[in-house]
Structure 1
């Protein structure tokens, strides 16, 4: 995809949204994103990589619009309609057909940027607010459907069994045995879980870089969840498990962190008892998923040093949780009322 200059991005914003201001490019893995500061507010013009289909982007937009309407307590990215009323435009840019949209810029810092500078009391408050935010995410997407959510997605836990062939590539023998054991257990239970546990459309990526914390408050609280590019249809429980997985990596006492997140989540969105009983299994499954995805990426690109660096926290947490009682996180909540 040819690179769009900031000036060209600003011209698109003016032509199709009547948004004018100062513009700067934002980092992005494959897409092109531009932050625009205007008198009316701040926005992000998003030009999708050609690999994204229009239904994929419609899924994201409609999910954000649904959350903004149902759960206004959080600052979801607000989808801006163009002057013709559309929320997603397909435009010719540099001889290519590109999908273009505009969303509000969400201010704040990422969870990863904030957490290391907090003391124990502030961390506990932040953990509870993270749980509440993900609970609102689940609650806001209840009943939401879109055909693109059923796409095959590498990070969908339902596809974890397909990564079994990567286990042999894990160099650490002890870690390889842990992943093998938990993957085998996940695969054995999967048919039963498909029948018993609720399936829903998920955000599927509430990691520490996609969770935004409001700045300027004495008490840091989660104000937004962004980046809806990994949405899929999977187990409802997965969004809570994913949030726990990333937050726990920052903590000396990961179990206490997870329990506080669960408490915040359940205050906003009850879960079935059966879901809570398997939360530990789902956290382990997400950690194994991460290890196997990184193992595959390293096999395909062995000279990239960043792939395995990001795995340090994942692998340390997986080793720790492998020896923890599976009721240690959710056990205190099992006698509470659930849906």
Structure 2
């Protein structure tokens, strides 16, 4: 697939969005992204991979616009309208139809880049800020609907049963047993949870590279959550569980970390007691989900050793949490509730 050059990207930005500035290409897994530094601000021109449908990208744009309107305390990426009034344009690029849009550039550094340099008190403050940001994310998407949100997505926890056959391919026998037990328990409860747990449209990927942090006089705080490409309809609880999964991997006391995240989250978005009771189970399920996705990817590309190397934190956390009480994280919150 031929790529767009920075010069061609600058032409599109000028012709259709009236944006001019210095253009540089950004790394991207499947799309093409270009940062534009202009006098009016910084932007990202995104040329979507042909596999992305227009409806998928419209879902992302509509969600970001909804969050900007409902939760303005955070700097959500925004899709800019072109001169024709549309926020998503279609162009032929190298013989293929491509979807192109321009998003506002969110200033800050990724959570992954920042967390290792923080003092203990700063880490705690950032954990609470992370919880608050994800709580605003959940609250802002409450009652948000879009036809593309019901798509079948591999990373939707509701689809964990489709990965059960991968358990047999986990080389580590002890880890295989842990994953088997937790996946079986999760899948057995799914019918009941469909009846009892709230279901909503989720961001579904508040990982350490998608959480943007700024450092100011008040300390570190989350400025935004970016990359809405994994959005789907699932259990409302999942976004909090996912944020905990990634943050906990950096900590020597992951339970204390998760408790602080939950505290920040509940200050913005209350959860049902039944949801809180299942949080640790959902965290374990997401960790298992990650192990199984990596197992499948490694089986399909056995020469790519990075796939399993990047799993070290996931597997260590899974082993730790599998050996402690299932209410260790949420017990303080359960004891203070009477619903």
Q: TM-score, structure 2 length as denominator?
A: 0.98
1:305, CA displacement in angstroms? 1.5
| Aligned-residue offset at 1:337 | 5.3
What corresponds to 1:214 in structure 2? 214
Instruction: Kindly state the Cα deviation for residue 72 of structure 1 after the two structures are TM-superposed.
Output: 0.4
- Distance in 1, Cα, partners of 2:83 & 2:155: 35
Shift of 1:245: 0.3
| Alignment correspondent of 1:292 | 292
Query: 1:149 is matched with which residue?
Result: 149
Q: How far 1:4 moved relative to its partner?
A: 0.5
1:49 aligns with 2:49: yes
1:13 counterpart residue number: 13
8 Å contact from structure 1 (residues 272, 338) kept in 2: no
Post-superposition Cα deviations, 1:117-141, rounded to whole Å, max 9, x if no partner, equal: 1111000000000000000000000
Aligned: 1:237 with 2:237? yes
SS at match of 2:208: coil
Deviations 1:58-97 (A, max 9, x none): 0000000000000000000011000000011111222221
* 2:164 paired with 1:164: yes
- Matches of 1:216 and 1:93, distance apart in 2: 42
Deviates more, 1:111-120 or 1:252-261: 111-120
The superposition leaves residues 23-81 of structure 1 with CA deviations (integer Å, 9 ceiling, x where unpaired) of 00000001000000000000000000000000000000000000000000000001100
| Aligned residues between the structures | 339
- What's the counterpart of residue 307 of structure 2? 307
Q: Secondary structure at the match of 1:100?
A: strand
RMSD, aligned α-carbons:
1.1
- What does residue 74 of structure 2 align with? 74
Q: Distance in 2 between matches of 1:98 and 1:307?
A: 29
Report deviation, 1:289.
0.1
**Other-structure match for 2:193:** 193
Alignment of 1:1-339 (within 5 A): 1-217=1-217, 219-336=219-336
Secondary structure in 1 aligned to 2:265? helix
Unaligned runs of 5+ in 2: none
- Tell me, what secondary structure is at the counterpart of 2:101? strand
Structure 1 CA distance for aligned equivalents of residues 174 and 217 of structure 2: 44
Question: Is the CA contact (8 Å cut-off) linking 1:202 and 1:236 kept in structure 2?
Answer: yes
Provide the C-alpha distance between the structure 2 equivalents of 1:151 and 1:31, rounded to a whole number of angstroms. Answer: 20
What TM-score, normalized to structure 1?
A: 0.98
